[in-house]
Amino acid sequence: MEDRNTFIVRCGEVALKGLNKPYFERMLVDRIKRALKKFDGIEVKRKEGLIFVKAPAALDQDEIVGEISRVFGVASISPAVEVDSDMEEIGKAAVEFMLRLIEKKGVKTFKVDAKRADKSFPVKSPDIARNIGAQVLIGCKVLKVDVHNPDCLLFVDVRRDKSYIYEQKISGFGGLPLGTNGKGMILLSGGIDSPVAAWMMAKRGMLIEAVHFHSYPYTSERAQEKVVDLAKIVAGYCSRFKMHTINLLPIQELIVQNCPEEETTILVRRFMMKIAEKVARETDCCMLITGENLGQVASQTAEALVVTDHSVQIPVMRPLIALDKVDIMDIAKNIGTYETSILPYEDCCTVFLPKHPTTKPKLEKILESESRLDVEQLVNEAVASKETITVYPDYR
């Protein structure tokens, strides 16, 4: 009986990085090590284009797979049996592997898929498959070969020193390892969209910080707790990050008192962007990230987005811009944010909501309205009042 379990981890897009591939692989190994830090006795190494994780057999295999699968850059994971690259040893291990599957899953048919990564190995891939298949048939009398629709596709991966036997390829999220694409500032609300936007940018290798706006006491403390809960779920994928919380109510009240009602939404949005930009520059974030989706609400029409973008001088990433709402909801459900996002707690965007918000704002008119306020002072005061916390993953 093995005292250690082996997991084969395959890179996704990382494998296409050419001369930069070793850098991305090192970053991915580091992220996997961090994800498995809570376990004792874990070993993570990269070899021959793959990453191998070895863990004490006493540890829960499914839990380890779950942790690895959340690491961006991982395409798939296979719990595997490691043996010496010798046909007799491979055959014995394959028989034992299939006997366990018969007992555990009731497997009745199988097919062997063999790959000879080490071309110096004296037996070619088709012959490996036939040989191992024959040994399995002899050792497991209840099994039959089915090359078209087998209950189990038995993989045999022959490499230079060791060979690996497995039957699963458990999908990861793919993408790029965290930390390979700078840092961005997400405008995080309690809705469905912005947590998904943060997750999507993290999947592209971007480190995340967050700024959250509230309108206390018009918005409740429970509404703020909801956003922290969402941030913790996002942190489960992109590690701990800082979240800056800012009360937008003083600015909202001044806008309502001094500017046309129908422009309230777009003016508030511009202030949020300006404040977020200032926080981003102070924290070395190279861009803003929002959950905006073209045409979803009044402030997200093409004309409104142009006016919004005019308020800042750093790039604004909108990873959800062309997705259907149903697609966004599906991602939210998949990553675990949906149920928290739909909890019925208000956010600052619902405060002082105009009856008929402008959907095609003119920049000249918006700038004229904005000139009635001391924009720079209000932005500086808002940033100075921010409260910052470090958000940790909720499952660790």
In sequence order, which ranges of 239-324 are alpha helices (DSSP H)?
A: 249-258, 264-282, 302-309
Tell whether residue 269 is among the known ligand binding residues: yes
CA angle at 109 for the pair 106 and 111, rounded to the nearest 5°: 130
CB proximity list for 369: less than 8 A, separation 6 or greater: 258, 259, 260, 263, 267
Q: Note the Cα 120 to chain centre separation in Å.
A: 39
Tell whether residue 174 is among the known ligand binding residues: no
Residue type, 84: D
Tell whether residue 187 is among the known ligand binding residues: yes
The pair phi, psi for residue 72, each rounded to 5°, is -65, 135
CA atoms lying within 13 Å on the CB side of residue 180: 24
**Measured distance CA(235)–CA(393) in Å, rounded:** 5
Query: What is the token pair recorded at 128?
Result: 């490996």
CA atoms lying within 13 Å on the CB side of residue 92: 8
Rg (CA), the chain: 27
Tell whether residue 19 is among the known ligand binding residues: no
User: Is the preceding omega at residue 217 within 30 degrees of 0, hence cis?
Assistant: yes
Tell whether residue 353 is among the known ligand binding residues: no
Helix/strand/coil (H/E/C) assignment for every residue in 304-323: HHHHHHCCCCCCEECCCCCC
Tell whether residue 356 is among the known ligand binding residues: no
Q: How far is CA 282 from CA 184, 188, 279, 374, in A?
A: 12, 18, 5, 21
Tell whether residue 143 is among the known ligand binding residues: no
Instruction: Give the annotated binding-site residues.
Output: 187-188, 212-213, 269, 291, 300
Pick out the residues of the known binding site for ATP: 187-188, 212-213, 269, 291, 300
